């Protein structure tokens, strides 16, 4: 059986249709995140002089390669911090 990707009306239309309950977007985040992680591991290997990367995805670490840590978890520059907003207690949405 021959498999192929379905045609879409473009990525914006595809995304809107998925939000409105249509089929999942062809550019879904689960697939894209895995693909991005693989590409970034290739970049990390190049930065480490071509070192073989044994990746621990759960802990986001290159096993046995502590010199890679600064590239994996770069320091956050001032003004770019992620601030967690406190949740509002007792707030209920109206349905």
Integer Cα distance of 15 and 33 in angstroms: 16
**Count of beta carbons in the 10 Å neighbourhood of residue 67:** 11
Token pair in block for residue 71: 């590239």
Length of the chain: 95
Q: What's the whole-model pTM score?
A: 0.59
CA–CA gap between residue 52 and residue 63 (Å, rounded) = 10
pLDDT tens column, 37-73: 999 999 999 999 999 999 999 999 999 999 999 999 8
Beta bridge partners of 61: 56
Contact 62, 44 (CB under 8 A): yes
Please report, rounded to a whole number, the percentage of residues in the chain having pLDDT higher than 70: 92
């Amino acid at each position: 059986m021959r498999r192929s990707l379905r045609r879409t009306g473009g990525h914006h239309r595809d995304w809107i249709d998925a939000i409105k309950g249509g089929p999942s977007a062809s550019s879904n985040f689960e697939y894209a995140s895995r693909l991005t992680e693989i590409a970034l591991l290739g970049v990390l290997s190049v930065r480490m002089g071509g070192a073989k990367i044994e990746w621990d995805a759960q802990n986001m670490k290159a096993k046995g390669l502590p010199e890679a840590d600064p590239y994996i978890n770069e320091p956050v520059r001032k003004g770019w911090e992620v601030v967690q907003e406190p949740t509002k207690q007792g707030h209920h949405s109206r349905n």
